[in-house]
Each structure stands twice: as C-alpha cells, then as structure tokens.
Amino acid sequence: MSTGNLGDNIIEEGSFYEGVKRQIDCFAADAGTADAGPTFLGADMPHNPIEWEEHDLELLLVESRKRNVPMIVGSCSTTGTDSAVDRYADIIRRLATKHKLEPFKMALIYSQVSKEELQRRLKDIEPLEAPYELTEEVLNETTNVTASMGIEQIVHALEEGADVILAGRACDDAVLAAYPIYKGFPKGISLHMGKAAECASLVCWPQMVKESIIATVTKEYFSIEPMHPAQRATPHSVAAHSMYERTNPFVQGVPGGILDMHESEYVAETDRITRVYGSKFVPSPDGTYKVKLEGAGEVGYRVYHLVGIRDTRAIANIDQILKDTRKKVSQIIGPNRDNDYQLYFHIYGKNAIMKDFEPQEQITSHELAIVIEAISKDQELATSVAKCAKFRFFYMSYPGQMNSSGGSVALLTDEPLYPKNKCYRWTVDHLLRLDDPLDDKIFRFSFETVRGR
C-alpha cells in the first residue's frame, strides 16, 4: 500500500482506511525529494511540519502492527540525513508507547557520508549531473552529503527480521520495490511498480494529493488501483507517471543497473485498474554497483526585495531597465571583482519560471512583479545590494516615459526580506562505486526492539 510522499501534506484518511480493508502485505512510503532544493540538506533541517510527519507515521505504524506486516519509510524527513532518521525513530518510539504496541523490531539505516570518507574515495567517484569532478575543494564547500541507497540495503533489514524500517536517503522506487524483491518477485517489475506507485494518487486521474493506492506485484505484471472512488488508474496515467522525472522516458538508472521500460505494456484490467507487463532490470554490463551522492553547501546570506511595475512603457523596456539597474548598482556598491555578491532579478510576468528557456518573447502583461535577490557571505553587503537595486527602480528611465521618478513603482513592503536560513547550493551530484552494497562506511545499520508496553 502506498500513501504518497510522507509528511508532504497529510494522508487522506478516507481512502487510507478503505485500503486497509484489503489484504496488505507491506506499507511503504517515500518521504524525500531533491525537489525541495539544497537548503534543507545543507542546513540539516526538516522540510515538512513535524506534526504532519507524525500524523502519517502514526497511521502507517498502527495499521502495519495490527497486521504484523512490514512498514518501510525511505528518505526520512525529506533529506534522509542521520538526524532525520533519528527524528523519525523518536516519533515511532513515542507512538509505540502511546498505542501500547507489542514489541517489534525496528531497523534504522543511515546513509549520511562523512566528507573525510569521500576524500579517501575520490578515485571511485564520478560526476552524474554535476559538470565537474568531485574534489577536496568542493567537499570543503559542502556541509552535508548523503548516499541514495537502492533495494539491497532495505532487503538486508528485512532479512534481519525488521518490522519497521526507517531509511536515510533512498531511491524513490527502491522504497516500494524492496519488499516484493525480498519475497522473490522479478526485479524489473518490482522496480517499475516502485516508480509508478511512490507518489500514490498522482499516478491516477484525476490527480489528487495523498490519497492511497494499492499496488499488486505478480511474476508477470504489477497493477495499480486507487482507493479514492473518484480516481482511475488508466494506461495513460500510469505510463505518464512512469515517464516523468527522467531525461530518457524508457530508462531509469538504479544502483547496480537500469530499469528498462522499452517493452513495458500498459493494459486496462478494469476502468479503474491498470496492469503493466514487460518491465526489465538490466544489470550494469561491468557488474559495478554505484550509488548517487547528494551534497549541499553554504553560499551565504540571501536578501529579497519586491518591486511592482504597472506602466506598460516600462514593461516594454524592462530588459534595458534591468541592465541599467545592474550597472548602477555596480557603480554605487563598487566593483564586484571577487564575486563578493550575486544579484538576480526574477521577473514574474515575463520569464521568471523558465528564464532563458522561455519560448515566448513578446509579453502582454499589464504589470510585472520583480523579485530582487541578493546573495553574499556578508549579510550587510547583501542587504545594501538589494536596497540599492530597489531604489534604482524609482529612478528608472525609458522611452516614452510620462511620469516623474517613482511613479511607476509599487512596493509590497519597504523592508528587506530575510529568509530564515542561509542560501545553499547543490555541490555534490555524483556517483560512488561500491564493491559491496552493504559497505558499512556508507550505509550503517542499527537494530532495536521497540516496546510500547
């Protein structure tokens, strides 16, 4: 049974309790994503409200213990750092006491990797999406690094008799695929099921958030069935979800090989259930086992200002206005010789979303919102840059101008906006080759008996 990204909103209880009426063999939930950006990994902090995560964990724990079936959670608290695994473990212990649960075995799988360990293994590391080699210098600019485990580490915990598994950073599909693979079902079918089902109700039409689904794995196929009565898992919806978040829609890289979906067939079992046949796991040709490394490092302080423009003549000349503003900031603040600061303009109403990839050159917006973003290791400098850029919009000059200074500018607030956390960037997006998937310098296991009474 899959319930969607754990703690990102809360599980909708109606479809969840409809699902638990069935024979459930395993409850599994992915709880992480890199989509949240580098800040949460860099700062080692939770992305979701803790009460949301506790709500979801409580539903899964209570129902899995009632049935004496495994509960598996991967990428705890979004980032899967060691502190995130420990945070979830504390919640599970409290919930066991709250519900007076019978003793059960809990496995904690840690996947945060020390920078010192990575420095010793630089020869075994290669770029994935990062456009550079991993070096000691890059590691020195990094605060936290995790390794994304595959199914092997979770299967090991199951083999050790774990009833509840809380895993650090993990491949999304592995969290759901591990149990059927552990039970002997085909790896390709199981991994494709994991990819299709990890977002739960987002694999169905119409899309809904945090509604539960049932995924069934057999030797020949897997199937998806939504538990919300208004949803349908169609061949179209399951295929569409199988293809998202990848550069090649038919191939998914996983530790130890690839999930090959070139021959996958999507067949309607009913108007609400879809079966998928033909998915294969292809081992790495050279037999290597590689895991993805994710790392984030601190850039500095970030300061925002918001400027609104309503004059259509200014809007028509916005590119030149921004160029003039950037030039004037440089004159007033001083030369930025050592990249002491970074200044960005996000133009909502023009190309804030796709930037240079935006295909629509001509805009018809009657107003624009410009988010001024300044970044520097010196917070006072970042503030000065943001303020200076904001003030320059009061004195912009452009063809056809019909108002005095300031007449074309509106401010949400005159105060600079300071995010709670510093600015972070992705520093590590690489692959680490392992001789053993259970390498204890990369993946560490802790087993304990949790007693609720």
- Asked if residue 396 has pLDDT above 90, the reply is no
Which range has the worst mean pLDDT, 44-53, 89-98, 223-232, 308-317? 308-317
Handedness of CA 410, 411, 414, 418 (dihedral sign): negative
If asked whether residues 319 and 261 sit together in one domain, one would say no
The model's confidence at residue 404, banded by pLDDT at 50, 70 and 90, is low
* Token pair of 126 as six digits: 């290669």
Q: Is residue 6 part of a domain?
A: no
Q: Tell me the average pLDDT of the chain.
A: 95
If asked whether residues 88 and 235 sit together in one domain, one would say yes
If asked whether residues 52 and 130 sit together in one domain, one would say yes
Return d(Cα 126, Cα 81) in angstroms, integer.
22
Work out whether strand 274-277 and strand 341-348 pair parallel, antiparallel, or are unpaired. Answer: unpaired
Q: Is residue 1 part of a domain?
A: no
Say what the pLDDT of residue 83 is.
98
Coil, helix or strand for 226?
strand
Say what the pLDDT of residue 405 is.
56
Return d(Cα 118, Cα 111) in angstroms, integer.
13
What are the C-alpha distances in Å from 356 to residues 65, 174, 325, 348, 352?
52, 35, 19, 14, 9
Say what the pLDDT of residue 407 is.
57
Q: Is residue 58 part of a domain?
A: yes
Q: How many CA atoms lie within 13 A of 452 on its CB side?
A: 20
If asked whether residues 165 and 22 sit together in one domain, one would say yes
If asked whether residues 383 and 431 sit together in one domain, one would say no
If asked whether residues 318 and 178 sit together in one domain, one would say no
Q: What is the mean pLDDT of residues 200-214?
A: 95
Say what the pLDDT of residue 37 is.
94
Return d(Cα 148, Cα 432) in angstroms, integer.
10
Distance of CA 292 to the CA centre of its chain: 14
Q: How many CA atoms lie within 13 A of 86 on its CB side?
A: 7
Say what the pLDDT of residue 338 is.
74
Say what the pLDDT of residue 203 is.
96
If asked whether residues 289 and 346 sit together in one domain, one would say no
The amino acid present at 273, given as its one-letter code, is I
Range ranked top by mean pLDDT from 109-123, 232-246, 385-399: 109-123
Q: Is residue 198 part of a domain?
A: yes
pLDDT tens digits for range 9-42: 999 999 999 999 999 999 999 999 999 999 999 9
Full domain range(s) for residue 29: 13-294+427-450
Phi first, then psi: give them for residue 433, nearest 5 degrees. -85, 130
If asked whether residues 220 and 334 sit together in one domain, one would say no
Return d(Cα 297, Cα 428) in angstroms, integer.
9
When comparing pLDDT for 361 and 196, which is higher?
A: 196
Say what the pLDDT of residue 406 is.
54
Q: Is residue 251 part of a domain?
A: yes
The model's confidence at residue 194, banded by pLDDT at 50, 70 and 90, is very high
Contact 188, 129 (CB under 8 A): no
Q: Is residue 302 part of a domain?
A: no
If asked whether residues 315 and 371 sit together in one domain, one would say yes
pLDDT tens digits for range 268-324: 999 999 999 999 999 999 999 999 999 999 999 999 999 999 888 899 999 999 999
If asked whether residues 384 and 280 sit together in one domain, one would say no
Contact 196, 168 (CB under 8 A): no
Q: Is residue 26 part of a domain?
A: yes
Work out whether strand 280-283 and strand 274-277 pair parallel, antiparallel, or are unpaired. Answer: unpaired
The count of domains in the chain is 2
Q: What is the mean pLDDT of residues 409-432?
A: 94
Work out whether strand 444-450 and strand 104-110 pair parallel, antiparallel, or are unpaired. Answer: antiparallel
- Exposure letters 173-194 (e unless 16+ CB within 10 A, then b): bbbbbbbbbbeebbbbbbbbbb
If asked whether residues 156 and 230 sit together in one domain, one would say yes
If asked whether residues 399 and 432 sit together in one domain, one would say no
